[in-house]
Every structure is written in C-alpha cells, then in structure tokens.
A and B are shown apart, each in its own frame.
Chain A
Amino acid sequence: MSLPVPKLKVAIIGSGNIGTDLLMKCLRSASLECMMFIGRSFTSPGIVKASGLGIRISDRSIDAIINDPASCDLVFDCTSAADARRHWPILKELGKTVVDLTPAKIGVMCVPAVNLQECLGSQNVNMITCGGQASIPLAHQIGLIHPDAEYIEVVSSIASRSAGPATRLNIDEYLETTEGAVKSFAKCKNAKAILILNPATPCVDMQTTIFAKIDNPDMEKLTLAVKKVVEKVRNYVPGYQLILPPTQEGGRVMITVKVQGRGDYLPMFAGNLDIINCAAIAAAEAFAKIRQKQA
C-alpha cells in the first residue's frame, strides 16, 4: 500500500486581498497545504476568513515564522516591496523558499509559461507584476522569433475597482518593474509599460495589448507561437484568452489578451490580481513536485 504523497507546507504572509485569494487557491491545490496565514491584525477580513476555515492564523507578521520555523517550507510574501525586503534575509537564513508577489525584485523573475524550470534552483522567485504575467509569455515569443525587435510595449487596462489604494499610490513602481521584466525576457533594447484604470460598470476584465515595431514580421510563425504559448498559460490561468491574434496594423504588430479571474476570493473582473496569484501557485506547485521526487 502506498502512502499519500505529502503536500508541500506553505505559509502566506500578507492577509489582504491577494493573500486571501491565494489561500483559497492553496486549499484547492493537490500539492500545497497552507499551514499558517499571517497578517498584522486579527481584524483583517482575510484573517477572519482563514480562521473560520480552520487555518492556523497569526498577527505577528514575520515573527510567526521565526517562532515556528518548522511550520512551513515555502512562504508566499504578499505584503509590500519594503516589507518583503525586510523579510527576505530572515527567511533566507531559515532556509525557506520564497515566492514573492511584491515588486521587491529580489529573486529571479518567474513567468511559469516561460522559465518555470530554470527558477526552481532559486530560493527566491519573484512574480513581477500582473501586466508582466499577462504580457511576457507573448513578448518572449516575439523576442525569440524576431530578435531584431528593438522595442516592445505593454498596455494593460484594468477595472478601476480592482485597483486599491496601494496600487494607485505605486503606479510608477508597477510600470518600472514591468518594463524591466519585459526587456529581460524579450531581450529587447527598450520596453514601455502603460496602465489604464477604467471605471466602467459592469467592471471590465483585465485587457493587455502587446505592441512591437518589427520590420517584415513573420506573422504566420508569430501566430502559431502565440497560440501555443497562450495554451501553456491557460494551463495555470484558465481565464486567459487571446482576443486579438497577432495583427499588423498601422506599422506595428499587436496582440491582445483578456484575463478573467476565477473568482476564488476576488471578483471575477479582477483578472489582474488572479493572474499573478495563479502564476505564484504554479511556481509553488513546481517546487512541491521537486520535493515529492526527492522524497
């Protein structure tokens, strides 16, 4: 008789919307088990919800892990860039793997559809931004097929309601992080990111368009490659949809995708928050698989 495969023990620091949605995804995961849900205040709605689900909770922030290091092997950090930078030296010392959902830019950048396997050797993987997760799989293909493409642009529009006070205060950081990641993955000289908030109701899903300036683009090759990578992304982000295949228009190549969320905790229109969470879970599950193989 074979024993059940042990799940990877994870902790989530940051009990806001992202952390709570991540918790719900963990509960559905076959290979992850959330051992602790950590925030700074027991009044946070996420903590109240986690407690109601019987998950162990704490309001001691990073101290919760310091005081019980054996509780988890992997930590999702959903706090803020500043806090993530404070947490990392401690978690590194404790030998934890960190999946960082803040723009702290500490660890190796991870886009599961592009470089998941290469990331598994790192102790800290960074999930970049929502716009990054949506666009980089496509930007990367453009970079492979047309290494001469010097400039790639990523425009994301999201529902106004899915952008809270923290997002609004840190738009500059979001743009700079996304641009840096696009440049790195597509290996292009220049990149630009644009973020638009749209208050229309009913709330709009996340929509991201990738533009590139390419002389003589091979549209057939691009279209095939794009369709393939979109399927790859859909494996971990079911709501990811290609709504405008590679198109030549006005001297530029453009591709548009839409992301609708699963609605695990956040509303479905918050595809922007969902995609980064789905990517984070995909990364964690890959780490879980390695562990299982080692066991």
Chain B
Amino acid sequence: MTIMKILISDPTLRDGNHAVKHQLTLEQVTAYAVAANAAGVPIVEVGHGNGLGASSLQVGLSLLEDHAMLKAAREVLTTSKLGIFMIPGFATINKDLRPALDLGADVVRIASHCTEADTTQRHIGFARERGKEVYGVLMMSHMAQGDVLLQECRKMESYGAEGVILMDSAGASLPSEVTEKVKILVDHLAIAVGYHAHNNLGLAVANSIAAAQAGAVILDGTACGFGAGAGNTQLEVLVAVLEKSGLSTGIDLYKMLDAADLVRKKLLESAISISSTSLVSGLAGVFSGFAKHVERVAGEYNVDFRDILFELGRRKAVAGQEDMIVEIADALAKKNSPRSSK
C-alpha cells in the first residue's frame, strides 16, 4: 500500500503573529524555530501576520522588522526550510521580496485575494527566476466558487507556482465545501494543492482532513492553533490525526507536542478558543485577523461588535480593509444608540 505523504507548512511564527498583535520577540522566534526544526517540521514560515512588508498602521505595526525575524530563524533552522509569505499590494519586490530572498528564505508564498491572482504574476516570476520553491495562495477562498478558484489557480500555475494553497482566512467553510473545491483543483491542475484552515466554526482539523481526502497534499497548521481569533488548525492535533489516518507527515509527534508546550508557555497570552467574536466573524465570512481590531473599536465607539462584523461581511470586505472597521463603527454610533440588552 502506498503511503501518501502530506507536506506540512507551519506558519506559527507568521499567521500566529496575529494572536499577539504582531509582537513576537526574537527569543520567541528563535525558541519556536529550534523546536519546530527538532520536530522535523518541513517548512517554518516567519513574519508579520499579513506577511512581508505588512507592518503598518492599517493592520498593526510589528515589534520586529522583517529582516530581524528572518535572520533569527535562518540561524537556527537546519533541516526545516525557512518560508516567507507576501501579498502584492502590501509588499513589493524591491523593498521586501528581494531582501528576504537575499537573507536566505527557501520557500516563498505569494498571496492574493481569491479572485485577484493576476496581481501575483511579477512576484511569483521573480522568486522562480531565483530558483526558489514558490507557491501561490488564494485568500478568503470561501468567497469564490470552485470554477473561479480553478481559473485563478491556473493563472498562478502559468506564472510558475509549483502549488496553490486555498486559504480559508475567515474560517467560514464547511467540510463539504472544502471537499468540492479541493477536488475541482486536484482534478484539473498539474500542480500541488494545499489547504490552510481556520477554526472559527470549530472545523479546522475536519476541513484539513477533508482537503487531504480530496487530494490536497499540503496542509497548514500552527502549534496550539496559535493564530488570530479562534486560531489556525492545531498542528499537533492535525499531525496525530493524519498519522492515525495513514497519511504520514514526517514530523516527530512527541517533539511536536514539546513545541506546542513551548508555545503554550512562552508565546500564548491567552488560550486559543472560539470566542463570540470569532464565531460571528466566521459566520459573517470576515477575515480572522479583523477580530481584535473589531473588539477594540466596538468598545471605543460603544457599538455592538456583532453589528460591525455582519456589516463587514455584508460589504464583502477583504483582507487589508481594516480601515473600514472604524468607518462602520463611526456610522453605527451616529445612527443608533447602542443595543440596550447587551
């Protein structure tokens, strides 16, 4: 019986950064990178929650500059590859991508909103020109149907991506949707398909397994589910479930558990769980990274965070549109008095 392997990509030190408002320190980066490397995690992704060059007033300033984080991780990663993530529109080749490649990044992910893949052409091409392993990422993938996603994936394939990852950035998908979308891609693409789930509806691991069963060979997860709002797929759980299902990852389970304990002790500020904000965010189909901003702004303007979230969902806000949160709260505050019962 052929054992099909799953390639795990671990964005604990990138997507996880959302959980601490992008304030990961050098010690934390180094400590986790060492632990992940020891556990045999294939790819360790490092950076601001929204990727290279995203440190901004719009989505949050990070404590460390990109190059500092990358250098720290690069120094301690031996068998694990160093991954970076970037979104054209936030980061540029000259300011962000080229320096990161020069610092020794091995794996590059270029992301766009799930209907805007052609914004990644230059960047994927740039990384490919330098012989790097490049993947395309489609964010907020719940917002497009399978056939549209396929077309966008084919664009990335033509630009030189060797795989595409569907990101359920809002944690809004059900397993049946995941199966359907992944299957369409696996059936029609020549390149690898991956899935990156979020846990807003408590379905991250289930969605990841559904993706694997539909033919995805790349899965993302973070230790303890460390990430924005309800968090990402809990990596140690995913690894265990995959092994139990006969899909090997090459990761040492015990050492992965050690890495998770490290995160629990040294990185987590509060336990990752599905709060009301995260649940409503998932239902409204809003980018998970908005959650903390929404909570803060709702408090300031004395409006119901749920109203803000549903309005963001109604307006189909995409990643990077955090400025809309304040504008909506301001409008709500002017229109009504706050809900009396809550």
Direct contact of A and B (CB under 8 A): yes
Is A211 in contact with B58, judged by CB distance below 8 angstroms?
A: yes
11 contacts between A and B (CB under 8 A): A153-B56, A157-B318, A157-B321, A169-B122, A192-B56, A194-B90, A196-B318, A196-B321, A199-B116, A211-B57, A254-B326
Closest 8 pairs (CB-CB, A-B): A200-B316, A211-B57, A209-B323, A172-B92, A196-B320, A195-B89, A199-B115, A252-B57
Q: Give A213 to B93 CA distance when docked, in angstroms.
A: 26
Is A197 in contact with B119, judged by CB distance below 8 angstroms?
A: yes
Residues of B close to A172: CB separation below 8 A: 88, 92-94, 122
Question: Residue on A with the closest CB to B330?
Answer: A244
Q: Give A254 to B118 CA distance when docked, in angstroms.
A: 30
Residues of A close to B94: CB separation below 8 A: 172, 176
Check: B317 CB closer than 8 A to any chain A CB. yes
Check: B327 CB closer than 8 A to any chain A CB. yes
Check: A165 CB closer than 8 A to any chain B CB. yes
Check: A247 CB closer than 8 A to any chain B CB. yes
Q: Give A212 to B61 CA distance when docked, in angstroms.
A: 12
Is B315 in contact with A171, judged by CB distance below 8 angstroms?
A: no
Partner of A194, one of B89, B143, B315: B89
Partner of B320, one of A153, A194, A204, A252: A194
A interface, CB within 8 angstroms of B: 151, 153, 155, 157, 160, 165, 168-169, 171-172, 175-176, 192, 194-200, 204, 207, 209, 211-213, 243-244, 247, 249-250, 252, 254, 256
Check: B113 CB closer than 8 A to any chain A CB. yes
Is A244 in contact with B327, judged by CB distance below 8 angstroms?
A: yes
Residues of A close to B92: CB separation below 8 A: 171-172, 175-176
Is B119 in contact with A171, judged by CB distance below 8 angstroms?
A: yes
Closest Cβ of chain B to A175, distance in Å, is 6
A171-B88, A196-B89, A247-B330 given; name 20 further pairs at CB < 8 Å: A153-B57, A155-B58, A155-B323, A165-B118, A168-B121, A169-B118, A196-B319, A196-B321, A197-B318, A198-B113, A199-B143, A207-B323, A211-B57, A211-B323, A213-B57, A243-B327, A247-B326, A249-B300, A250-B297, A252-B57
Closest Cβ of chain A to B181, distance in Å, is 17
In the complex with contacts A153-B56, A244-B330, A198-B317 CB distance below 8 A: yes
Check: B266 CB closer than 8 A to any chain A CB. no
Check: B296 CB closer than 8 A to any chain A CB. yes
Is A157 in contact with B119, judged by CB distance below 8 angstroms?
A: no
Question: Residue on A with the closest CB to B112?
Answer: A197
Residues of A close to B330: CB separation below 8 A: 244, 247
Interface of A, secondary structure class, is strand
Residues of B close to A168: CB separation below 8 A: 116, 118-119, 121
> CB within 8 Å of A: which of B291-342?
293, 296-297, 300, 315-321, 323-324, 326-327, 330
Closest Cβ of chain A to B125, distance in Å, is 10
B interface, CB within 8 angstroms of A: 56-58, 88-90, 92-95, 113, 115-116, 118-119, 121-122, 143, 293, 296-297, 300, 315-321, 323-324, 326-327, 330
Q: Give A24 to B323 CA distance when docked, in angstroms.
A: 33
Is A198 in contact with B321, judged by CB distance below 8 angstroms?
A: yes
Closest Cβ of chain B to A133, distance in Å, is 18
Residues of B close to A169: CB separation below 8 A: 118, 121-122
Partner of B116, one of A197, A211, A250: A197
Residues of B close to A204: CB separation below 8 A: 315
Residues of B close to A153: CB separation below 8 A: 56-58
Q: Give A169 to B266 CA distance when docked, in angstroms.
A: 42
Question: Residue on B with the closest CB to A212?
Answer: B57
In the complex with contacts A153-B58, A254-B326, A199-B113 CB distance below 8 A: yes
Instruction: From B89, B143, B323, B330, name the one whose CB has the most chain A CB atoms within 10 angstroms.
Output: B323
Instruction: From A171, A176, A194, A207, name the one whose CB has the most chain B CB atoms within 10 angstroms.
Output: A194
Is B318 in contact with A198, judged by CB distance below 8 angstroms?
A: yes
Residues of A close to B118: CB separation below 8 A: 165, 168-169
Question: Residue on A with the closest CB to B315?
Answer: A200
Q: Give A213 to B60 CA distance when docked, in angstroms.
A: 12
Residues of A close to B143: CB separation below 8 A: 199
Partner of A244, one of B121, B317, B320, B326: B326
Is A209 in contact with B316, judged by CB distance below 8 angstroms?
A: no
Partner of A249, one of B115, B317, B326: B326
Closest Cβ of chain B to A208, distance in Å, is 9
Is B89 in contact with A249, judged by CB distance below 8 angstroms?
A: no
Residues of B close to A244: CB separation below 8 A: 326-327, 330
Q: Give A129 to B164 CA distance when docked, in angstroms.
A: 32
Question: Residue on B with the closest CB to A208?
Answer: B323
